[in-house]
Protein backbone atom coordinates (compact mmCIF):
# COMPACT_ATOMS: atom_id res chain seq x y z
CA UNK A 1 0.00 0.00 0.00
CA UNK A 2 1.51 3.30 -1.05
CA UNK A 3 1.53 6.47 0.99
CA UNK A 4 -1.15 8.00 -1.24
CA UNK A 5 -3.34 4.92 -0.74
CA UNK A 6 -2.92 5.18 3.03
CA UNK A 7 -3.80 8.88 3.02
CA UNK A 8 -6.90 8.20 0.92
CA UNK A 9 -7.96 5.41 3.30
CA UNK A 10 -7.47 7.66 6.34
CA UNK A 11 -9.59 10.40 4.75
CA UNK A 12 -12.31 7.85 3.99
CA UNK A 13 -12.32 6.54 7.56
CA UNK A 14 -12.42 10.06 9.01
CA UNK A 15 -15.41 10.88 6.81
CA UNK A 16 -17.23 7.76 7.98
CA UNK A 17 -16.44 8.58 11.60
CA UNK A 18 -17.84 12.10 11.22
CA UNK A 19 -21.06 10.70 9.72
CA UNK A 20 -21.42 8.24 12.60
CA UNK A 21 -20.70 10.95 15.20
CA UNK A 22 -23.33 13.21 13.64
CA UNK A 23 -25.93 10.43 13.62
CA UNK A 24 -25.16 9.51 17.23
CA UNK A 25 -25.52 13.14 18.27
CA UNK A 26 -28.97 13.27 16.69
CA UNK A 27 -30.06 10.00 18.28
CA UNK A 28 -28.78 10.83 21.76
CA UNK A 29 -29.63 14.53 21.90
CA UNK A 30 -32.94 13.93 23.71
CA UNK A 31 -31.75 10.99 25.78
CA UNK A 32 -30.50 12.94 28.79
CA UNK A 33 -33.11 13.41 31.49
CA UNK A 34 -33.43 16.71 33.26
CA UNK A 35 -32.91 16.52 37.01
CA UNK A 36 -36.05 16.79 39.11
CA UNK A 37 -36.63 20.17 40.67
CA UNK A 38 -37.06 20.38 44.42
CA UNK A 39 -40.62 21.17 45.45
CA UNK A 40 -41.73 21.83 48.99
CA UNK A 41 -44.56 19.62 50.24
CA UNK A 42 -45.68 22.32 52.69
CA UNK A 43 -45.99 25.43 50.52
CA UNK A 44 -45.72 23.76 47.08
CA UNK A 45 -42.94 26.11 45.98
CA UNK A 46 -39.97 25.02 43.87
CA UNK A 47 -36.43 25.54 45.12
CA UNK A 48 -36.55 24.07 48.61
CA UNK A 49 -37.95 21.13 50.56
CA UNK A 50 -40.22 20.84 53.57
CA UNK A 51 -37.15 20.50 55.81
CA UNK A 52 -35.96 24.01 54.91
CA UNK A 53 -39.37 25.67 54.40
CA UNK A 54 -39.72 29.06 56.04
CA UNK A 55 -43.52 28.76 56.09
CA UNK A 56 -43.77 25.59 58.16
CA UNK A 57 -45.65 25.70 61.42
CA UNK A 58 -44.48 24.55 64.82
CA UNK A 59 -46.10 21.13 64.33
CA UNK A 60 -43.45 18.98 62.69
pLDDT for res 60? 45
- Mean per-residue pLDDT for 26-41? 77
Per-domain boundaries in the chain: 1-29
Work out the average pLDDT over 21-34. 78
- Range 7-15 average pLDDT: 94
**d(Cα 22, Cα 16) in Å, to the nearest integer?**
10
Q: How far, in Å, CA of 19 to CA of 26, rounded?
A: 11
Share of the chain above pLDDT 70, in %: 85
Q: Does the pLDDT of residue 18 top 90, yes or no?
A: yes
User: Measuring CA to CA, how many Å separate 18 from each of 11, 14, 23, 24, 26?
Assistant: 11, 6, 9, 10, 12
pTM: 0.46
Amino acid sequence: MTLDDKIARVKDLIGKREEIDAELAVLLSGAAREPRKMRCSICDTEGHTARTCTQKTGAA
